[in-house]
């Protein structure tokens, strides 16, 4: 007869057997039913076409996983088998996990990309415009990384008026995605005009934080425009697709984020020339208008009036002059005629020739019949007169 | 007449405005002269600002809650 055991006893025996035999195993399988608990622990199932096994991964260990497990992802999990007596089932206590092959990481990338694409996170109409003149640019990256140094030198060369606000963040390894997320959140509470998130190039694993869903969603949520600047030209991350602008490198991001001083100075010179030209044209135009006005009939009229009056005056003068002179001449002529007559009638001249004048009663006696011989009369010679009777 | 501008962008915007106002026929010669003077002054100030500026770097400390 076999020994009768309690449920706890047999469970304990199985547990010892299992835990001794499977202390350190690696299992390859596909994740399903992945549930990150609020406590920080992960619960999921690994399966293949014929079987499945429950898995747990405790907080503190799952920190070291560089990617966020997703359903459908093929992984290799390392850990030990344990029993959960209350449920009577066995499970894999995962110590570490990695993506099953480089191709699987790519597949995970594609899955998330497809999911977010279908949700509309990549759509153009969600993309905010990158300001042309940012006064302050927030940067989420490693403070001592080459990417940040590159960005500083580009900013100094192109647009030294800008202020760079660095929010130092882990950009790879454990907690990188979370750090980037809080960086975006914190910068959203400042007055930066633009945020650049990024890092230099690296392997797909190195860049993985920028392929995490939480980063993608935070980028999407950001009120401030974000440029994603991860790695080299060829590297594309999920962040690149969600961001308002993707740039091939951190340096290129700073070029997009800033205007070029050279161009600005040129523009300023152009503006100055333009001002000068416009003003010159206006001055010329006003001068033309002024000349036109001065030459207009209205302005010429007073001059004409004066000229006309002057002419009128001159005319009167001529007329006056001519009439006065005329009269004068006429009178002068008459005087001459008269004086001639007087001359010719000069008695003295005639009397000197031997003629005498007879005057009676103070008037000339021209006929013999009129003379009264008995009365007094005068005989006037040129030199004297003689009274008769 | 010398307005204070908060940012370079505002200065550039004002310059653009001046350019537009100058070009409009409605602005008289007196005002045009004033605008011209303001424009030249402002554009020189802009250029000076650009040439003398140096990138400022500040660090946003990580908040402790995260």
* Chain A environment of B22 (Cβ under 8 Å): 275, 278-279, 282
Q: pLDDT digit string (tens) for B2-51?
A: 567 777 888 888 988 888 888 887 888 888 888 889 988 998 888 888 88
Q: What are A23's two structure tokens?
A: 């202390």
DSSP, residue by residue, A163-213? EEEEEE---SSTTHHHHHHHHHHHHTTTT-SEEEEEE----TTTTGGGG-H
| Mean pLDDT confidence for A341-360 | 79
Strands A52-57 and A377-380: unpaired
Sort out which chain A residues have CB atoms less than 8 A from B23's CB and list them: 278
Distance spanning both ends of chain B, measured CA to CA: 49
Give the range with max mean pLDDT: A128-132, A318-322, A377-381.
A128-132
* ipTM for the assembly: 0.82
The helix-helix angle for A261-295 and B29-52 (nearest 10°) equals 170
Binding-face residues of B in 8-47 toward A, CB within 8 A: 8-9, 12, 15, 18-19, 22-23, 29, 32-33, 35-36, 39-40, 43-44, 46-47
pLDDT tens digits, A187-201: 999 999 999 999 998
Identify the pLDDT of residue A257.
95
How far does B7 lie from chain A, in Å, by closest CA?
Answer: 7
Most A-contacting residue of B60, B63, B64, B66 (CB-CB within 10 A), to test interface: B60
Q: How far is A296 from chain B (nearest CA, A)?
A: 21
Interface of A with B (CB under 8 A): 132-133, 135, 138, 143, 152, 155-156, 160-169, 178-179, 182-183, 185-187, 190, 261, 264-265, 268, 271-272, 274-276, 278-279, 282-283, 286
User: CA of B32: which chain A residue's CA is closest?
Assistant: A279
Q: What is the pLDDT of residue A284?
A: 87
Q: For residue A324, what are its two tokens?
A: 């006065």
On the question of pLDDT at A1 being above 60, the answer is: no
Average pLDDT, chain A: 89
Rounded Cα gap, residues A18 and A89, in angstroms? 12
Contact by Cβ (8 Å): A134, A193: yes
Instruction: For strands A52-57 and A385-388, give the pairing.
Output: unpaired
- The answer to pTM > 0.95 is no
Contact between chains at B55 and A271 (C-beta distance less than 8 A): no
Q: Can you give the pLDDT at residue B1?
A: 43
Q: What is the secondary structure of A274-330 as a DSSP string?
A: HHHHHHHHHHHHHHHHHHHHHHSHHHHHHHHHHHHHHHHHHHHHHHHHHHHHHHHHH
């Amino acid at each position: 007869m076999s020994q009768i055991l309690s449920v706890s006893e047999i469970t304990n025996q199985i547990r010892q057997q299992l835990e001794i035999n499977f202390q350190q195993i690696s299992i390859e399988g596909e994740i399903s039913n992945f549930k990150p608990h609020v406590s920080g622990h992960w619960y999921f199932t690994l399966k293949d076409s014929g079987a499945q096994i429950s898995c747990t991964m405790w907080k503190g260990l799952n920190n070291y996983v560089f990617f966020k497990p997703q359903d459908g992802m093929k992984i290799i999990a390392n850990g030990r088998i344990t029993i959960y007596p209350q449920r009577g089932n066995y499970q894999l206590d995962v110590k570490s996990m990695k993506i099953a092959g480089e191709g699987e990481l790519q597949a995970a990338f594609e899955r998330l990309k497809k999911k977010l694409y279908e949700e509309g996170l990549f759509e153009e109409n969600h993309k905010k415009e990158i300001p042309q003149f940012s006064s302050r640019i927030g940067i989420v990256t490693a403070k001592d990384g080459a990417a940040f140094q590159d960005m500083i030198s580009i900013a100094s060369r192109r647009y030294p008026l800008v202020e760079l606000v660095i929010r130092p963040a882990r950009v790879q390894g454990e907690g990188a995605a979370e750090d980037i997320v809080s960086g975006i959140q914190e910068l959203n509470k400042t007055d930066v005009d633009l945020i650049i998130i990024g890092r230099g190039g690296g392997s797909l694993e190195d860049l993985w934080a920028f392929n995490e869903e939480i980063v993608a969603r935070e980028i999407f949520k950001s009120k401030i425009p974000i440029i994603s600047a991860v790695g080299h030209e060829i590297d594309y991350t999920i962040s690149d697709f969600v961001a308002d602008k993707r740039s091939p490198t951190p340096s290129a991001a700073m070029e997009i984020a800033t205007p070029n001083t050279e161009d600005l100075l040129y523009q300023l010179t152009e503006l100055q020339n333009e001002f000068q030209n416009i003003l010159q044209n206006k001055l010329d135009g006003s001068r033309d208008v002024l000349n036109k006005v001065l030459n207009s009939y209205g302005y010429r009229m007073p001059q004409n009036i004066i000229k006309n009056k002057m002419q009128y005056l001159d005319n009167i003068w001529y007329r006056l002059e001519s009439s006065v002179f005329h009269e004068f001449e006429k009178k002068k002529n008459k005087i001459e005629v008269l004086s001639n007559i007087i001359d010719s009638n000069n008695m003295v001249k005639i009397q000197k020739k031997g003629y005498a004048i007879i005057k009676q009663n103070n008037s000339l006696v021209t006929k013999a019949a009129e003379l009264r011989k008995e009365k007094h009369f005068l005989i006037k010679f040129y030199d004297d007169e003689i009274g008769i009777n | 007449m010398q307005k204070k501008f908060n940012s370079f962008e505002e200065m550039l915007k004002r310059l653009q405005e001046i350019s537009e106002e100058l070009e409009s026929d409605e602005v008289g010669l007196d005002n045009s002269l004033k605008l011209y003077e303001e424009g030249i002054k402002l554009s020189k100030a802009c250029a000076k600002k650009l040439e003398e500026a140096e990138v400022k770097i500040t660090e946003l400390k990580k908040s402790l809650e995260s």
